[in-house]
Amino acid sequence: MTSSELPATLASLPFTRIRVPARGWVFHAGQPHPGLYYVHAGFLKTFSGSEDGRERICGFPMRGDWLGLESLGSECHVSDCTALDASEVWHFPRSVLEDNAVAATLANLCARQLRDHNAWALAICSLCAERRVVEFLEALGRRHASLGCSANRFRLRMTRAEMGNFLGLKIETVARTLTKLQAMGVVDVDRREIMLLSKIDDTARAPQPVVRDRRASAGFRMAAPPPAHAHAPM
């Protein structure tokens, strides 16, 4: 991917390349002078924490996604970001917002991110554990396909615990659900290697009572599961 694939209003702006090792930090909550980061390569995790030590994963950005939009208008970053794989991000200073065309482009990006957040909030609050995991894997498959990779076979960069945190499920529930989906012939799981074998049947897709995970909390963000004809988001 090159700078020409950025939105036209941002492609000509100066930026700083930052290479981040696996499990390295991109930014911390409370870090002053937040800027914007474009994910050029890699796989990352954004999350928010509380004073009493609770942590909530907000999303798993991939190539083509933006980081730091939630901190616009703040003097400091309001969330944390680490790399789950060796990554490269392009940093744009906040001063780019002084250009009206750039500000309008970023406003559109923020709006899309909010729509994605709302779509996942609905999915987590209204779907059973099995459906949450399926939606998550299918969304990842669409994202990989949008990057020219296989939509059906990919590697999970996050741990089961991180997946569960994002989906509002305990790690044991994630493990049991993956085992069940494999027995149903929906996926093939080999540690972190995932192969989507078929779409889950209509019966499994029907509305089901939600069993809430008492140790899970609401409030998360990831690229929403778009319709098949929609552009994959991050």
Domains, the chain, in order of start with CATH, read: 3-116 (2.60.120.10)
Computed over every residue of the chain, the mean pLDDT equals 83
Confirm whether pTM is higher than 0.75. Answer: yes
CA atoms within 13 A on the CB side of 209: 1
Contacts of 108 (CB under 8 A, 6+ apart): none
Question: How far is the C-alpha of 114 from the C-alpha of 43, rounded, in Å?
Answer: 20
Q: Which has more confidence, 65 or 210? A: 65
> Is the predicted pLDDT of residue 22 greater than 60, yes or no?
yes
Name the band, by pLDDT with cuts 50, 70 and 90, for residue 118. confident
What b-and-e string marks burial along 110-122, b requiring 16 or more CB atoms within 10 Å of the CB? eebbeebbebbee
Partners of 190 in the β-ladder: 193
CA atoms within 13 A on the CB side of 162: 17
> Is the predicted pLDDT of residue 172 greater than 90, yes or no?
yes
What's the pLDDT at 164?
96
